[in-house]
Amino acid sequence: MNVPRPRPHPRRVPWSTLTEIDQLCLWVYSEDAHDSSRDRAIERLSAWKFMTPLPHALESLLSILVAIRQEDTTSTASPSSSLSLRQSYATAIIRLVNGLVDPLQVGAYARPILSIAAQIGLPAWLVELRHAATHEDLPSLELLRDGAKESLSWLLQNYFLPMLNPALTPTLPRSSIRPLEPLLRQYKSLLKSVSRDASLRTRHEADVSRVLREIERWLSEARITADARTSEFGWQSYAPTAGDFTAADGDDPREAWALDRLCEALLLRGALVPISRKKRDPPKGSHRPPSSLLVIWTPLLEKIAANHAHFFATLTSHIVAHLLANPLEECDDAAMAAERASYDVCLATWCAWLAGCHHGDEIDAEVAARREDVFLQLVHALDPHHETPQRSQQGARALLRALCDSDRRLAGISATILSMAHVSSVNVANWNERNLEVMEIRLKEVLSVSGPVGDSQPSADFEVEGQGALPTGWRLLSADGWRPCPIGKGI
């Protein structure tokens, strides 16, 4: 599936192992840290900074340490101007705060720095200090010195400790998002009244767009929350700007997280699928959602999709995942089961709508790709030999039918697969060499249907030829004498 989840990818860091971070932390923070150990820390950080861009916390640490050391040395040498010292401190604090706050300015408009600082637990007075140092009189040396101390300990608590002991508390306050359901309910009732009485349209238009905006705002809040919840992502390091790995722009985990929450809310009963079972049934002979539902929800869905490229893909995968989920508690209660089935079928019509089934073959590449993804997942899961109670997959089957009805190519593939499955189910006991041939033939059949799969370039390869005369002091290590090892290992 060509989707938003990035593969976990490493990033370049200046330390070879975490022990080096530990060492650095000791140089700066340990009980018996002294001037010369802090000098070592400054040297190490300067070296790292030259090797590769530093994480912001370390860069800030470096400037604060340098300012502190500057004070130590000047106070003994010459008590001349305090201005340059104050400037060093001020710059260090300004850059620390800016660097921590800026990544959270994700909207088009600036959010107040104080509110972001509160979100990440940065003391408000550091923000005030930053403001004063930037726009007002340069604060006094004493205040700046305190600010630097506060910053140092903030970095220890919020950067070094979590980094060295990932198991220890995430010190970030875990913010939560407000529920989306009330907004969706509000939207639904507005649209409902508009759809029933066209004369209300103009009157409610402003309200509708206000709610739409509210939902959009909710999404951006969710993104911010996602940021604060980094601990939930295994792939957070894959920042959208991470230099060499700039991914397609949808691959932003925060965006994905926010969309996931939105889709969850949409899938609750009472949203895309109405609570009343009567209102769920698709129109006869079609696979679309009932028009009463379409009227209500399409404006919202299209609006979100217009702003969030991955929305439709995310929603589709949520629905498919739901349809294919095989709940452990098979409901004994017939009424419950019927309810579930009807819910699933209604969801399936939405998925069919997302896959452009009502447009038949005339869809663009994006929708086609989505449709193919859905189809693949369904076919994979609805294996004819799969032992699952029919009812639990009724929705998925309905969806598969919808796909096949609207797309002849998929119908063809589906028929091929099904027929092949029926031909014979090989009995394990009767396994013989013939079976392999049969499998081979089937493989060919399947491949001929799906067309050539992207084949790789003929793997012609060329090795560096034997060496000529090497300059003095140079030696090419031979393939036998040298054992490959990861780059950066000491020799």
Partner 1 sequence: MLSAIAARKARLQISSIKSSIKRRRHHHHPAAVKKARRRKYNTPPKAHSENKNVIVTTSESSESNPKQQQDVVSLDLDHSDSDSDMSITLDQENPQLIQPERSLEPTQRERRKVWSPSLPVVYSSDDASDASDEEPVADISQRPYNRPLTTDGPERLSTYHPVPEQNMFQLSPDEASALGLSGPAVVLVLSPSLAASFVGAYRMRVLRGSISLLGIIIHPSRVPHHVFAPRSSPIPVIQALVVRGESSKSLASIPSRILSIIDQGDVVIVLQELRTGIGGLGRVVRTFEGVFDQAGLEETIDVPLEGIHVVIQATRGMCAFQLPPSWEMALSASPLALSGHPVGLRKPHVLLVKGQKNSGKSTFARALVNRLSSWHRRVAFLECDLGQSEFTPGGMVALSVVENPIFGPPFTHPTLPHQAHYVGAHNPRSSPSHYLRAIQSLIETYRLDLQFASAFVDIEEDREDDRITDVIPLVVNTMGWTKGLGSDLARRIEELVQPTDIFLFDTSPPDGVEPDGPRVHTLEPVTPSPRFTASDHRALSLLSYFHAVFPNPIHSPPLRQTTASLWSTKRPLCARPPYELTTRLALDRIVLTGAGAEDVVRTELWRVLTGALVALVSSPSPSEGDEELFTPGSPPPDPASSTCLGLAFIRGVSSDGSKLQLLTPVPPETLVNARVLVMGELELPVWGWLDFRSADGGAGVDVPFLQWGRNTGAGSERRRVRRNIMRRAQM
- Cβ proximity to partner 1: between 285 and 486 the closer is 486
- The span from the CA of 41 to the CA of 49, in Å, is 12
269 forms beta bridges with: 273
Contacts of 194 (CB under 8 A, 6+ apart): 200, 201, 204, 208
Binds partner 1 by CB under 8 A, chosen from 79, 285, 327, 473? 473
Applying CB under 8 A, which part among 30-38, 235-243, 275-283, 418-426 lies near partner 1?
Answer: 235-243
Binds partner 1 by CB under 8 A, chosen from 35, 302, 383, 440? 302
Smallest distance from partner 1 to CB 321, Å: 21
Binds partner 1 by CB under 8 A, chosen from 35, 75, 83, 107? 107
Residue 479 in the binding site for partner 1 (CB under 8 A): yes
Residue 124 in the binding site for partner 1 (CB under 8 A): no
Smallest distance from partner 1 to CB 18, Å: 9
Smallest distance from partner 1 to CB 21, Å: 10
Q: How many CB atoms lie within 10 A of CB 329?
A: 6
Which residues inside 22-51 make contact with partner 1, applying CB under 8 A? 43-44, 46-47, 49-51
DSSP code per residue over 457-473: PP----PPPPP-PPPTT
Give me 94's structure tokens.
């300004």
Query: Which residue in this structure is represented by tokens 């403001």?
Result: 131
CA max distance for the chain:
96
- Cβ proximity to partner 1: between 87 and 220 the closer is 220
- Cβ proximity to partner 1: between 76 and 467 the closer is 467
Residue 231 in the binding site for partner 1 (CB under 8 A): yes
- Which of 414, 396, 403, 392 shows the shortest CA–CA distance to 287? 403
Binds partner 1 by CB under 8 A, chosen from 99, 265, 338, 341? 99
Residue 123 in the binding site for partner 1 (CB under 8 A): no
273 forms beta bridges with: 269
- The span from the CA of 344 to the CA of 339, in Å, is 9
- Cβ proximity to partner 1: between 299 and 341 the closer is 299
Which residues inside 396-455 make contact with partner 1, applying CB under 8 A? 450-452, 454-455
- Which of 371, 395, 381 shows the shortest CA–CA distance to 312? 371
- Cβ proximity to partner 1: between 34 and 385 the closer is 34
Residue 379 in the binding site for partner 1 (CB under 8 A): no
Applying CB under 8 A, which part among 28-36, 192-200, 326-334, 460-468 lies near partner 1?
Answer: 460-468
Give me 189's structure tokens.
């009732």
Amino acid at 396: A
Applying CB under 8 A, which part among 2-10, 28-36, 84-92, 343-351 lies near partner 1?
Answer: 2-10
Burial class of residue 306 in the structure, from the number of CB atoms within 10 Å of its CB (0-12 exposed, 13-18 middle, 19+ buried) = exposed
